[in-house]
Amino acid sequence: EEVTVDVLGNVIGRVGSGDLRVMFSAHMDQIGFMVRGIDRSGLIRFSPVGSWDSRVVLGSRVLIHTSEGPVLGVVSVKPVHFRGMFPDEFKKAPEFHNMVIDIGASSDEEAKKMGIRVGNPITLYAPVERLKGSKLAVGGGFDDKAGVASMLLAMKELASSGVPEGVSVYFVASTQEELGARGARVASFKVNPKVGVAIDVTHAKAPGVDEKLTSIELGKGPAVGMGPNFHRRVWEGLIRAAEEAGIPYQIEPIPGPSGTDAHVIQVTREGVYTGLISLPLRYMHTGVEVLSLEDVANVGKLIAEFVRRIDASTFP
């Protein structure tokens, strides 16, 4: 019914006009890099934006986003054939200040003619593809564009059924979550919700990440957060909605701050009834993140079913 964009770039959509304000927030930003210098040789120096494991960056293809369009480049890597000459270098994780991006330019002037400027943002070149013979997808930026996609699916469901009388539902595609949930902090202050639910990703079982680290699995449904960052009325409402609608779900115990938009939503103004729905994800913060498309759809369904069951008596 209404879409606005605030100063920090949050996109906020509203459905309904009741006094009970319910907000869902999924961040649309992703980790990346920034150009910090151009060598005379035309190589690009860069710095990380967000939390990166430098081991996954070497040898990757990247896109430098300029005012004239994206420029493809590769993060240079020393071939393994030189390992005998530099044995110590191959035994440790590389440091970002020693990395450069090769865009095919032979000088700094040529790089500038291609549109490269200090401060340009950079992302991994990681197109989305399906893994053959499965309902899994692989790509980059699923953290947390997949959450935004789930919200869009929920909006599509609610467009046909509407929202309960007396309820306003706000869907926020937030910014700068990877830098401290700045967008959600601003959006939740503006919306001033009674109930706020973050939509994000969580670690799923994968090679090297077993039940000692997580109990969450791909394809087993959304993960509902439990812990001090969330309110019992919200997680119980999410579980009830899932069970009544036949949506598979998992429980994710989080004993402290969740590291999601929920962390700042909870302490907005005089406090917010807060919850978290997470998408299981393998290989987070890489260019080969893997998720289940069924989980994405089921998160959207769970959001819609939760909204359909909300009333003011549940959240006084």
- What CATH code is carried by the domain that includes residue 229? 3.40.630.10
pLDDT at 253: 97
Q: Within a domain: residue 112?
A: yes
Q: Which of residues 76, 91, 125 is at a domain's end? A: 125
Q: Which of 64, 97, 125 is the last residue of a domain?
A: 125
Question: Domain for residue 203, yes or no?
Answer: yes
In this structure, the answer to whether residues 214 and 68 fall within a common structural domain is: no
Answer with the one of 99, 125, 151 that is the final residue of a domain: 125
- 21 and 40 inside one domain: no
Whether residue 158 is found in the same domain as residue 279: yes
251 and 226 together in one domain: yes
Indicate whether 21 belongs to any domain: yes
Are both 169 and 294 inside the same structural domain? yes
pLDDT of residue 225: 98
217 counts as catalytic: no
**DSSP conformational letter for 81:** G
Same domain, 216 and 108: no
Residue 62 · residue 73 · CB < 8 Å = yes
Q: Is position 133 within any domain?
A: no
How many structural domains are present in the chain? 2
Same structural domain for residues 230 and 257? yes
Q: What is the pLDDT of residue 196?
A: 98
CATH code where residue 81 lies: 2.40.30.40
Residue 15 lies in a domain: yes
- Check residue 88 and give its pLDDT: 80
Catalytic residue, candidates 109, 165, 177, 217? 177
Domain that holds residue 67: 32-125
Mark whether 206 and 300 lie in a shared domain.
yes
Q: Are residues 254 and 286 in the same domain?
A: yes
**Is 255 inside any structural domain?**
yes
pLDDT score for 93: 82
Per-residue pLDDT of the chain (316 residues; tens, 9 = 90+): 899 999 999 999 999 999 999 999 999 999 999 999 999 999 999 999 999 999 999 999 999 999 999 999 999 988 888 777 888 877 788 899 999 999 999 999 999 999 999 999 999 999 999 998 889 999 999 999 999 999 999 999 998 888 999 999 999 999 999 999 999 999 999 999 999 999 999 999 999 998 899 999 999 999 999 999 999 999 999 999 999 999 999 999 999 999 999 999 999 999 999 999 999 999 999 999 999 999 999 999 999 999 999 988 889 8
Q: Note the pLDDT of residue 1.
A: 85
Instruction: Specify if 313 maps to a domain.
Output: no
What are the E-state strand segments in the chain? 2-5, 11-15, 20-27, 32-38, 44-49, 61-66, 69-75, 100-102, 121-124, 129-130, 136-139, 167-174, 195-203, 223-226, 250-253, 273-281, 289-292
Instruction: Read off the pTM.
Output: 0.93
pLDDT on residue 188: 98
Alpha-carbon gap, residue 176 to 310, rounded angstroms: 29
pLDDT value at position 92? Answer: 82
pLDDT at 59: 92
